Amino acid sequence: MPNMLDMLLEHKIVAILRGIEDRHADRAGRALIDGGVKLMEITMNTAGAPAMIERWRSLFDGEAAVGAGTVLDADMARDAIAAGAQFLISPNLDEAVIAYGRERGVAVWPGVMTPTEIVRAWKAGAEAVKLFPMASLGLKYLSEIRGPLDSIPILATGGVDADNIGDYFKAGANAVGIGSKLLNMEWVREGRFDLVTAQAKRFTGAVRRLDSVQ
């Protein structure tokens, strides 16, 4: 199994699928992968999430890593890992989730907001943290905390679009989580998966361009 932290730091985008209907999920996942996305999370508050995760693990084996999002507690972590999730992402910090994942060799990237939470998560064994909600906190906040907390990988989630993605990395993000700006549910419902792939290419292309100038 590839190392999830290495994948996160290399590919820098986690696609967030929240509330997608099971009948559209496989084509949406394929469209994202065709656009270059390598890490995808299905949130656990999506109806039928464990079944979708399990199916995606076989469908997209070797093409993309499949994880679970909105993992609020150890019970959700258990269900997600049982379904085959390769990484767990939370909006909150729950040390029990980190411990459960570590015991089973599954990466956990918990949600944090304050410097205290970031260090707590790191000390509890999280290899990276999800800074959330970035749309409200703002890029200035990210760049300020980056000064003293420069060694902890940060997945910035909230407010990322194809035009400002570079600003997130300039402010100190190591990776970004993107939901509706990447996967437009209207396109999905209309069967316009070509538009999903084109949008994914915009984001992954932006990351490649940023990498090439660094």
pLDDT in tens, the chain (214 residues): 689 999 999 999 999 999 999 999 999 999 999 999 999 999 999 999 999 999 999 999 999 999 999 999 999 999 999 999 999 999 999 999 999 999 999 999 999 999 999 999 999 999 999 999 999 999 999 999 999 999 999 999 999 999 999 999 999 999 999 999 999 999 999 999 999 999 999 999 999 998 887 6
pLDDT at 94: 98
Among 181, 177, 176, 175, residue whose Cα is nearest residue 196: 181
Eight-state DSSP code of residue 29: H
Tell me the C-alpha distance between 157 and 177, whole Å: 5
Tell me the C-alpha distance between 210 and 169, whole Å: 9
pLDDT at 2: 81
pLDDT at 104: 97
Residues 6+ apart with CB under 8 A from 85: 53, 66, 67, 68, 106
What does pTM read for this prediction? 0.97
For the annotated catalytic residues, the residue numbers are: 41, 130
| DSSP-assigned beta bridge partners for residue 39 | 14, 65
Longest dimension (CA), the chain: 46
Question: What domains does the chain contain, in order, with CATH numbers?
Answer: 4-208 (3.20.20.70)
Q: How far is CA 123 from CA 56, 80, 119, 162, 211, in A?
A: 32, 23, 6, 33, 30
Among 117, 17, 31, residue whose Cα is nearest residue 70: 17
| DSSP-assigned beta bridge partners for residue 88 | 68, 108
pLDDT in tens, 78-90: 999 999 999 999 9
pLDDT at 214: 67
Tell me the C-alpha distance between 137 and 71, whole Å: 22
